[in-house]
Each structure stands twice: as C-alpha cells, then as structure tokens.
Amino acid sequence: MSGSLLEVKGLKMHFPVHGGLFYRQVATVYAVDGVSFDVRPGETVGLVGESGCGKSTLGKAILRLYDPTDGQVFFEGRDLAHVHGKELRMLRRDLGIIFQDPYESLNQTHTVGFILEEPFRIHCVGTPEERRAWAKDLLKKVGLPESAFERFPHEFSGGQRQRIGIARAIALKPKLVVCDEPVSALDVSIQSQILNLLLDLQKEMGLAFVFIAHDLAVVKHVSDRIAVMYLGKVVEFSDADELHHKPLHPYTQALLASIPEPDPSKSVEEKPFLEGEVPSPRNPPAGCRFHTRCPFAQPRCRTDIPELKAGPGVAPEHLVACHYAGELKPKS
C-alpha cells in the first residue's frame, strides 16, 4: 500500500521448544504466523487480542527485538527484518517502544536523568550539556517536575514511571512508537492521564503508534484502525468505529460482547459469551484457528484456512478472515 510508514508482510515468528534427551527441538510455538498490516504516518493502529495471541511478540518483531522467522517489515521502504549493523541502528532512531511494566523496564540503579540521556549517548547526538538540556525538556513534555532529573525510578509511582518510559521512547523524535500494554498495569484514574499524554504527544509530534492492549475499549479510544488477533493471526483489520459497529468475525463479536460495561442495566447473565479456552500456540488447530470455540463453525472451517480479505457489504478497507463473514447473524 502506498503512503504507508510501516508495512508488515506475511510476518512469522516461530520459537523452537527444546527438551528431552540431547536437548533436541521437540516442538514449535507459532507465536506469530503470517501477519500483514500497515501503519500510515501519524496514525494509531491498535493490536488487540487475548494473552497468547502473539500481539506482544508481533510488536517486538516489528522493532527487530526478535529476528523474524519469515516475512518482511518495511519501514519507509526499507526492510527492517533484513538490515544489519549500522543501518539497523540508524533506522532505530525513528522507532521507539513503551513497555507494560514501568517497574521492570527502567534500570533501578540509574538516575532518571541518566536514563533519559542514554538514547542520545547511544546514537552519539549532542554534547553532554545539550543532552542534559534535552533530557530536561523531555521531563517537561511528559509532565514531570525538573527535580525528577536527579532522582531514581523507585522514588516514583507507577504512573510517573510510565511517563519516564514514554519520555525515553520519544527522546529521538521517532516516527513510530510501539506501545506494548502501556496502561494495563495502572489504576483507572492514572490510566486516563497516560492515555491523554499519548494522544497529546501524537498530535504535537506527528507520531504513529502501534498500540498493543487486551482491553478493546481502551484500544478503540486511541486507535484509528484496529487489528484483532487470535492465535498468531489477524482475524479482522478495519477502521476502529466500523469494527465497533459492524464486526464481521465471530471472535471480534464475542470480544465486544465480553467487555464489562459500566452500565448496571446490562446483566452478565444475559450476555452471550464464548465457551472454551484459547488453544495452545504450540499446536494450533488446523483450518480456521478459531473453529474450536466458534459458535458458527462448519465442516469447512476445520480444514481450510480463511484468508484475510475484504469483507462483504462493508468499506473496502475492512478486512476479515472468515469463510462465512457477513452470513453470520451477530447474537444480540
């Protein structure tokens, strides 16, 4: 697709499992198994799915924190999956990542100032004085007092630590930031502060986000487009509002129905819900991976893998991977 900042094509990330005598490879985890999507400059693409669906692995594979098994990741036309050394380091200036756990992702033995100057040091930009000034600017940008500069991460609360993590991610003015569950470890009242900060920074700096989370309501609020993942595959990819109003894949429909809403008129007992659990990505089901839990599954779903393609009766950019998309009546 032209005009894309990031284009992921058929990305696969498999992990070998070793064990037994001689530590041979005994199995493979198909964490990400043939995923394609794109991100345009300045937009947010949400990746949503349950634990084990491969959304975090995908986020890390995009940034080459893992070496993908197969597929391509084009960033401004260059394939991130196959560049090395200096070239990769140069490309990484334009990429950032925010992690879920602000307790584990910040080095406890360094001051906040040191942590924030580090990106500049690694990429050899500026003099020590300049770096210091930039780091202080970053603190202001994410709403922390300048006094934070000399302090250590453990002196801050979860929300403030996440602000430090965000400041570090945007230090080099990247074009794309992968946010891996940035608010799931935070309290409700702090969560909205961080989401607002991300929205403000996006507007101000023209950042594109890949926003990974399990909470569909949060993802929908910040995203322009959303990719729903299930067991290593994208099952639906569409404009965020359209996904909410016209979900085509039965998994998306179930996910939407399962969200507890702050409205006491809707009792949990009247809601449709999914039976069963997510199968293991070590041994994913043949055919459509969702067929073991799908209330509409037909014999064909057990053998044929559905392709991600334009759905019937919806906007052309609304993609869905279901043989019977559009023929299913959403349960209400």
Among positions 198-217, residues that touch other proteins (CB under 8 A) are 199-200, 214-217
CA dist 298 → 238, 285, 287, 290, 323 (Å):
25, 14, 11, 11, 9
Q: Burial, 217: exposed, middle or buried (Cβ in 10 Å; 0-12, 13-18, 19+)?
A: middle
Q: Which of 85, 127, 269, 299 binds other proteins (CB under 8 A)?
A: 269
CA 123/CA 209 separation, integer angstroms: 22
Q: Which of 234, 278, 301, 322 binds other proteins (CB under 8 A)?
A: 278
Q: How far is the CB of 124 from other proteins (least distance, A)?
A: 36
Contact status, residue 42 vs residue 207, Cβ threshold 8 Å: yes
The partner residues of 24 in beta bridges, in order of sequence, read 19
Q: How far is the CB of 45 from other proteins (least distance, A)?
A: 13
Q: Which of 84, 108, 129, 261 binds other proteins (CB under 8 A)?
A: 261
Give the binding range for other proteins (CB under 8 A) out of 17-25, 96-104, 119-127, 253-261.
253-261
CA 305/CA 123 separation, integer angstroms: 44
Q: How far is the CB of 126 from other proteins (least distance, A)?
A: 32
Q: Which is nearer to other proteins, 71 or 250 (CB)?
A: 250
Among positions 312-331, residues that touch other proteins (CB under 8 A) are none
CA dist 173 → 104, 114, 191, 275 (Å):
23, 18, 23, 45
Contact status, residue 296 vs residue 328, Cβ threshold 8 Å: yes
Give the binding range for other proteins (CB under 8 A) out of 89-97, 264-272, 282-290, 302-310.
264-272
Q: Which of 20, 24, 51, 84 binds other proteins (CB under 8 A)?
A: 51
Asked if residue 283 binds other proteins (CB under 8 A), the reply is no
Asked if residue 3 binds other proteins (CB under 8 A), the reply is no
Sheet holding 176-180, edge to edge: 95-98, 176-180, 208-213, 44-48, 225-230, 233-239, 319-320, 309-310
Give the binding range for other proteins (CB under 8 A) out of 78-86, 91-99, 166-174, 265-273.
265-273
Helix (H/G/I), strand (E/B), else coil: 48: strand
Contact status, residue 244 vs residue 263, Cβ threshold 8 Å: no
Q: Which of 25, 107, 157, 303 binds other proteins (CB under 8 A)?
A: 157
Asked if residue 147 binds other proteins (CB under 8 A), the reply is no
How many residues touch other proteins (CB under 8 A)? Answer: 51
**Which residues of the shown chain bind other proteins in the complex (CB under 8 A)?**
44, 50-51, 157, 159, 187-193, 195-196, 199-200, 214-218, 220-224, 240-241, 244, 254-269, 271, 273-275, 277-278
